[in-house]
Amino acid sequence: MPKQRISLRMIKDVIRLKWHAKLSHEQVATALKISKGAVAKYVSLATAAGLDWTTVQDWSEQQLSTALQPRSTAALPIVVPDWARIHRELDRKGMTLMLLWQEYVAANPQGRTWRYTQFCEHYKAFAATLKRSMRQHRRAGEKMFIDYAGSTVPLSDGARAQVFVSAMAASSCVFACATPAQRLEDWIAGMVRALHFYGGVPQLVVPDNATAVIASADRYEPRANDTVLDFARHYGTSVLPARPRSPKDKATAESSVQVVGRWVLARLRHHRFDTVAQVDAAIAELLPSVNDRPFQKLPGSRSSVFAELDKPALMPLPAQAYELARFKTVKVHIDYHIEVDGHRYSVPHPLVGQVLEARLTQHGVELLLRGQRVAAHARSSLRGKFTTVDAHMPAAHRAHLEWTPQRLIEWGRQIGMACGELVTRLLQTYKHPEHGYRSCLGLLSLSRTYGRERLEAACERALALGTVRYRHVRDLLANNRDLVAQESAAEWTSPAHANVRGPDYYQ
């Protein structure tokens, strides 16, 4: 059955009810006894023509018919999008082909554009012309790939400088530096320098499965070692190694290593270097030429794309650069100290017997219990010595720490001069005064039992007897000898005797 033709008067009524009465499509269709699809069609035509009810209410049918007549676009050429720009835009976080297609259509309202399916097909054909590594869509600021170049730089002493390489995923912006080896500290130093070169932190750092970095290179549950995880916590990022034997996972790193080999290391082949620092300086001098070199099939360069895409998406750097840390399991000794490299560091005394994790840096020792810091010290190289924080001691030990010879003597003098003198002599009897602290405290504590006057009297008698022992003073008090008046010693006169010759015998 053929469709019923809608008169221009009916179309005018559609415009009136839609814009003047502000009815919905369904209400307009019900009021005019036409389909909702027809309402949508003529509302769309009127919108495309820029019409509203105020404009058309006094128009003739001929004027309305001319204004609503759709233009023939079949003869117009297709507006071809800038595929290179669209490819770059897809690297932005949250960007989709649907949104880019809608922007493409909106930017060409008078031109002939592709429908969404055709748009996707033509983009895929363009992407197929790019390098294999470039077809991987990497979100801006999402990943930083790291690896060591296979090529090394010879030194005059026969050693070889290793070359650390990193690259941002979206822009392929390259950083490279020279290190003495490929040990853990070299990997960490390279990553720290790379982050500060880029001026920000990506969401993921993707290394190879090097044994210096990855503790378990499991295909499904890989795990970085403790130092690398500590590095990631410091910068607020994550370390996710590529799958073993899967170079496609780190194609950006592979291509960046190749670029550094061709445009940096190849140029240094005739140079002679004495130190790793010289190699590092030479690499730093050539890096700008690599990042500023224009792309062959895409607009811009590594530097320009990095500034446009990656740089704004990076997380900020922390206030301080990461300092290499190693971890060690330690047990708290009975003296509430742990031992690291022959030096002992204190922890809170309730942790005696606990197993802690020691985080060791060049300048500090941090002690962790189930991930929580319980103590921190400046690192010391003095073997056999102690680093003790007073707050870690039990109350009795802190009181003992406050004792000094002079303080004990002052306590004794508050009781009396004889007591102060006895304390002084008691401390002098020991090679180390600390050995006499307990005896002095025991002596002074007798004042609580017998009173200050009796203790002073007992000290006078002990000094007269030539003793400074605590137990002797205690026994004098216990036997009340301090209450007995001391007898003055009479001058001794030799008695007359036949065997005593006298001084005249020697004349």
pLDDT one-digit tens code per residue, 391-436: 887 776 666 666 678 888 888 899 999 999 998 998 888 765 666 7
Q: How many CB atoms lie within 10 A of CB 23?
A: 17
Q: Is the pTM value of this prediction over 0.85?
A: no
Among 291, 268, 289, 292, smallest CA distance to 178 is for 268
pLDDT band (50, 70, 90) for residue 380 = confident
Look at 87-96, 171-180, 279-288 and tell me which has the smallest mean pLDDT: 87-96
Cα separation, 421 vs 466, in Å, equals 12
Q: How many CB atoms lie within 10 A of CB 72?
A: 7
Among 190, 192, 200, smallest CA distance to 168 is for 200
For 453-494, write each residue's pLDDT tens digit: 999 999 999 998 888 888 999 998 998 888 877 655 556 666
Query: Residue 75: is its pLDDT beyond 60?
Result: no
Model pLDDT, residue 133: 43
Segment 366-393 shows an average pLDDT of: 86
Cα separation, 470 vs 478, in Å, equals 12
Cα separation, 30 vs 24, in Å, equals 10
For 195-244, write each residue's pLDDT tens digit: 999 999 998 888 887 888 777 666 666 777 788 888 888 899 988 887 66
Report residue 58 CA to chain centroid gap.
71
User: DSSP H helical segments within 249-381, as ranges?
Assistant: 251-260, 276-291, 302-305, 311-313
Model pLDDT, residue 181: 92
- Contact call for residues 427 and 436 (beta carbons, < 8 A): yes
- φ and ψ at residue 66, rounded to 5 degrees: -65, -40
pLDDT band (50, 70, 90) for residue 437 = confident
- Contact call for residues 177 and 190 (beta carbons, < 8 A): yes
For 291-350, write each residue's pLDDT tens digit: 988 887 677 888 888 888 888 889 999 998 888 888 889 998 877 888 888 888 989 988
For 24-56, write each residue's pLDDT tens digit: 888 888 877 888 888 888 788 778 777 777 777
Cα separation, 355 vs 345, in Å, equals 14
- Contact call for residues 379 and 360 (beta carbons, < 8 A): yes
